[in-house]
Amino acid sequence: MFIGDIVGAVGRNALKQMLPKLKLKHSPHFVVVNGENAAGGRGITAAIAKEFFELGVHGITMGNHTWDQKEIFDFIDEEERLIRPANFPKGTPGRGFTVIKGKENELVLINLQGRTFLPPLDCPFEKADEILHDLGKKYQYIIVDFHAEATSEKLAMGWYLDGRVSAVVGTHTHVQTHDERILPQGTAYISDVGMVGPRDGILGMERQSVIRKFRTQLPVRFVVDEGKWHFHAVVMEFDHNGLAKKIESIRIFEEDVLFD
């Protein structure tokens, strides 16, 4: 199960509420979340990462907000279950992929970031080749979180890695796309998983400040919105060769779970 960008306290509460129910329903071997917006919309702290792991999260991916909380430098080198985009410059703290050990099998988790409307990082396609080459044939289950803005760049990555990884799932836009599918060579794909957090903000942030920013072009400080949440994720199933048998998107509104 891959859960999209968790935004602020509202998003973290949604995860706390939904994860036990979703685990009962889907019995996932692995749960991965994108955590780049978990701390007030900006980055993640050690305490929040710990809270996620205690809830049963196996791995955390990040993105362009990786460094927003300064304390991440204190734990990113030690915490093997949290990864940041692999195509950040050489020498960057932390790691871009990791192997997560489950009860029965191992999952390779890779984080990459796009370069369209985002900073000019190393080539994510070349970086993917490099990592897959280094991993060799040892692992069947490989999931790539491609943290990118443009659907074209995400689709390009999906098709580029088709048959070479189990799944390419997009994050960063916070809006779930409706294009989940299994590509011809067996890779599960979705352009964006969507977010977990305030539903009536704009991508999770308080909407009046975002509207003001667009209208005035003045510097505006965004804060995470309050109120009701929505929750977006995908559940995937793979065969023994690590190829996809299923990808199903999940979209839940807070009011839909109030009475169960």
The first and second tokens of residue 8, run together, are 């602020």
133 is catalytic: no
The smaller minimum CB distance to Fe ion, of residues 34 and 98, is found at 34
Of 64, 98, 111, 191, the residue at the interface with Fe ion (CB under 5 A) is 64
With binding defined as CB under 5 A, does residue 37 bind Fe ion? yes
Give the other-Cβ count within 10 Å of 12's Cβ: 22
The distance of closest approach from Cβ of residue 106 to Fe ion in the complex, given in angstroms and rounded to an integer, is 27
Cβ at position 7, least distance to Fe ion in Å: 7
What single-letter DSSP state applies at residue 162?
A: B
Q: Are strands 82-83 and 188-190 parallel, antiparallel or unpaired?
A: unpaired
Q: How far is the CB of 68 from Fe ion (least distance, A)?
A: 10
Q: Which of residues 164-223 bind Fe ion (CB under 5 A)?
A: 172
Which regions of 114-217 does DSSP assign to beta strands (E)? 141-147, 167-171, 181-182, 188-190, 196-198
C-beta of 154 vs 172, nearer to Fe ion: 172
Count of beta carbons in the 10 Å neighbourhood of residue 257:
14
Q: Which of 65, 172, 174, 230 is catalytic?
A: 65
> Which helix or strand (DSSP H or E) is residue 174 part of?
none
Nearer to Fe ion, 64 or 242 (CB): 64
Which residues in this chain contact Fe ion in the complex, by CB under 5 A?
Answer: 5, 36-37, 63-64, 172
